[in-house]
């Protein structure tokens, strides 16, 4: 006769057997792994795509699509493991190039780390704490949140570089075109101010702080492009990185800021960063682009209805740069994709709204996501 305590034990065993078939990794339901996988150093475990849940023919077609659209490299990671890695035009896993505005998402993460460190008091802190020229002026109402969400209201100005130019001071002097928080405008010059603000807050160069905070990822080839400015300052612009190291960054964000047994950035900040940061452009978080929203506004200011990438899961988000530098994260598929190359040359599709959804993002990521079969 089966005793009640045996029934409890059997129920527990049955539940454990059920749970061992699946595990919630990040925000995605996938086959169980004994523990989440993280690449170590220059090594990265690869698995046949079919073992990672891909339909091989469909994934091959997605890689061919990238190859025929001016890509120099593509990395596709699922469950932390490499499903595909391809290079063209004599690139290698060690080739590092600027990722242009995809660097903005790296910056947002560093800001979150500085908040964790107590160096910034939070996103509602006035940026004037690090921009003395704004104190006692209407710009004193500009917060770190406004800078992360592209809602400072500062005039969009031309960028100048060179050792005789202090880009930080020049941008700080630009006039307000709108009251902070009332207008969304893609303003790269203001974004670059965050790099100097991080240096002011940390007392370190942006490269030193980045290497220290991302040390567990072992980013051996990644660094910021910085040039000399007056008064022993620097003008820093873009992060340069390899495809594997771009994918590592994407994996860190997919895992809600955790790397192995360390929480490198608070999970609430990661979630906040990858959620709408304001109502003016719902497809924009803290320097991240977001899918799945009812409308979006592009860098040129034009707006359109519908999802940014209609052929992709609604929870997808990305770090997007000029010349189609990409880091895509799709939590529901436990997927990270990184792409390097030149402009992909994909135009709007017939019927798309002006300034609307195109393009290479939707075409490439959509193909990869449709290749996931389980």
Backbone angles phi and psi of 112, in degrees to 5: -60, -40
Q: Mention every residue, 6+ apart, whose C-beta is less than 8 A from residue 37.
A: 45, 79, 80, 81
What percent of the chain lies above the pLDDT cut of 70? Answer: 87
Domains annotated for the chain, with CATH where assigned, are 49-370 (3.40.710.10)
For residue 176, CA distances in Å to 151, 182, 186, 283 come to 11, 11, 14, 24
> How much is the pLDDT for 162?
65
7 exposure class (CB count in 10 Å sphere: 0-12, 13-18, 19+): exposed
Q: Is pLDDT above 70 for 69?
A: yes
Query: Is residue 159 predicted with pLDDT exceeding 90?
Result: no
Q: pLDDT-derived band of residue 359, with 50, 70 and 90 as boundaries?
A: confident
102: tokens are: 């995809």
Nearest to 250 by CA among 97, 73, 102: 102
Give the model's pLDDT for residue 42.
86
Q: State the pLDDT confidence band at 157, using cuts at 50, 70 and 90.
A: confident
pLDDT tens digit string along 99-128?
A: 999 999 999 999 999 999 999 999 999 999
pLDDT tier for residue 352 given thresholds of 50, 70 and 90: very low
Of 344, 289, 350, nearest to 318 (Cα)?
289
Whether 232 shows a pLDDT value over 70: the answer reads yes
- Position 226 pLDDT exceeds 90: yes
Enter the pTM of the model: 0.89
Mean residue pLDDT across the chain = 89
pLDDT single digits (tens) 31-68: 435 589 999 988 999 999 999 999 999 999 999 999 99
Cα angle, residue 180 at apex, residues 178 and 181 outer, rounded to 5°: 110
Question: Beta strands 258-259 and 262-263: pairing type?
Answer: antiparallel
Q: CB atoms < 10 A from the CB of 21, how many?
A: 8
Q: How many other CB atoms are found less than 10 A from the CB of residue 261?
A: 8
- Rounded Cα gap, residues 248 and 94, in angstroms: 14
For the residues 327-342, what does the mean pLDDT come to?
98
Task: Express each pLDDT in 167-225 by its tens digit.
Answer: 999 999 999 999 999 999 999 999 999 999 999 999 999 999 999 999 999 999 999 99
């Amino acid at each position: 006769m089966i005793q009640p305590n045996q029934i409890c034990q059997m129920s527990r065993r049955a539940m454990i057997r059920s749970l061992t078939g699946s595990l919630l990794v990040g925000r995605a339901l996938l086959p169980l792994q004994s523990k989440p996988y993280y690449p170590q150093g220059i090594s990265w475990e690869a698995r046949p795509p079919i073992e990672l849940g891909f339909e091989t023919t469909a994934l091959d077609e997605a890689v061919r699509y990238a190859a025929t659209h001016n890509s120099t490299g593509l990395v596709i990671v699922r469950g932390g493991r490499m499903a595909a890695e391809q290079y063209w035009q004599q690139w290698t896993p060690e080739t590092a190039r600027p990722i242009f505005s995809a660097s903005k998402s790296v910056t947002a993460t560093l800001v979150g780390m500085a908040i964790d460190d107590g160096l910034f008091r939070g996103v509602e802190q006035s940026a004037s704490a690090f921009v003395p020229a704004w104190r006692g002026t209407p710009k004193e109402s500009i917060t770190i949140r406004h800078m992360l969400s592209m809602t400072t209201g500062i005039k969009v100005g031309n960028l100048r570089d060179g050792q005789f130019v202090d880009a930080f001071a020049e941008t700080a002097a630009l006039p307000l075109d709108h009251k902070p928080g009332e207008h969304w405008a893609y303003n790269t010059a203001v974004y670059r101010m965050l790099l100097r603000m991080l240096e002011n807050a940390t007392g370190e160069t942006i490269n030193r702080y980045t290497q220290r905070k991302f040390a567990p990822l072992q980013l051996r080839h990644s660094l910021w492009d910085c040039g000399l400015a007056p008064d022993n300052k620097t003008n820093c612009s873009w992060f340069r990185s390899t495809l594997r190291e771009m994918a590592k960054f994407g994996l860190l964000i997919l895992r809600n800021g955790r790397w192995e047994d360390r929480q490198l950035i608070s999970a609430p900040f990661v979630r906040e960063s990858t959620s709408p940061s304001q109502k003016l452009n719902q497809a924009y978080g803290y320097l991240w682009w977001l899918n799945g929203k009812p409308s979006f506004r592009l860098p040129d200011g034009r707006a359109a209805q519908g999802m940014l990438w209609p052929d992709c899961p609604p929870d997808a988000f990305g770090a997007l740069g000029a010349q189609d530098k990409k880091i895509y994260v799709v939590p529901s598929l436990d997927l990270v994709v990184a792409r390097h190359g030149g402009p992909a040359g994909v135009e709007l599709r017939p019927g798309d709204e002006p300034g609307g959804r195109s393009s290479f993002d939707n075409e490439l990521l959509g193909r990869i996501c449709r290749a996931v079969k389980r």
